[in-house]
Amino acid sequence: MKRLLALVMTTLMLLSVLSGCGSTEAPAADTDKAYNVAIIQLVTHDALDAATQGFQDALVAELGEGNVNFDLQNAAGDTNTCATIVNSFVSNDVDLIMANATPALQAAAAATAEIPILGTSVTEYGVAMGIENFSGTVGGNVSGTSDLAPLDKQAEMVKEWFPDAKNVGLLYCSAEPNSQYQVDTIKTMLEGLGYTCTLYAFADTNDMSAVTQEAADHSDVIYVPTDNTVASGTGIIDGICQAAGVPIIAGEEGICSGCGVATLSISYYDLGVATGKMAARILKGEADISTMPVEYAATSTPKYNAAICEALGLTAPEGYTAIG
């Protein structure tokens, strides 16, 4: 009887093992895993802050409270600090890096080819990553979201507000390749609309005042692109251009709030949310970052700065919303 009972138990155990081996059911997800997500933000200003907040909010919503740990570091506008920060992320073997702004993305991509990297607040990925004939997908371990509002519509905005202007100054930081891309692109568009365009490039905040003054002295209107250095120095630019009576069309809302009269605005918070949702799909194994195309803001809204418009005696055309 003991032998028979042992034989029966052995047979049942064997059948159980064989049944498990033949199963095609995927293993249950590790719902207790806490992902370590690193965030490098180039500098503090409203647009980048909103993108970071949207990213964090979306990732927590997707993964659940307590299932994601954030390491948020700010480079204070220093590209060398970007490299130091991302190298520490790589040493800590984080699960994913979110790079907020072009220099942060470039530093992260140079530091690792293994850890997934999502950029946000990056205008043109082909320019940022040195990819000719960019098709929309970076490949490798990099993807993300772009903050590029349509440049053709921005050129049309200049025409809508200032149809009688002749000279447009394009003011930007030459150290930011995506700023160079924007002004080169919109220059051709504006010249097609009959304007004479001049580039006014400053290297950093040290020569911003002098270059801005030169632009104000020789321009009827100034265009500034989505530019992190400009965003950090809107007070300087506004002090010079308002005094000279020269209006500014800005590439994004944060800059317009500080020194512009009008902009074609996107929501940086929503851009961050879209990036967070991409991160969740990657971390949960639902998407391969190497095949994920860069995503763009779904909508853009024409907005105006009521205070500066009033100071310069300008009235916004119909269809514009005041920046709140």
Which three-class secondary structure string do you get for 40-80? EECCCCHHHHHHHHHHHHHHHHHHCCCCEEEEEEECCCCHH
CA torsion 11-12-16-22 (nearest 10°) is 50
The average pLDDT across 89-96 equals 98
Distances, alpha carbon 197 to alpha carbons 155, 166, 188, 219, 274, in Å = 12, 9, 9, 9, 35
Residue pair 136/163 in contact by the 8 Å Cβ criterion:
no
- In this predicted structure, what is the pLDDT of residue 114? 97
Q: Using only C-alpha atoms, what is the Rg of the chain?
A: 25
| Number of residues written out for the chain | 324
- In this predicted structure, what is the pLDDT of residue 324? 83
- In this predicted structure, what is the pLDDT of residue 45? 87
Instruction: State the greatest distance between any 2 C-alpha atoms of the chain, in Å, as a whole number.
Output: 106
Q: Which residues pair with 71 in a beta bridge?
A: 38
Question: Could you tell me the pLDDT band of residue 33, with boundaries at 50, 70 and 90?
Answer: confident
- In this predicted structure, what is the pLDDT of residue 32? 62
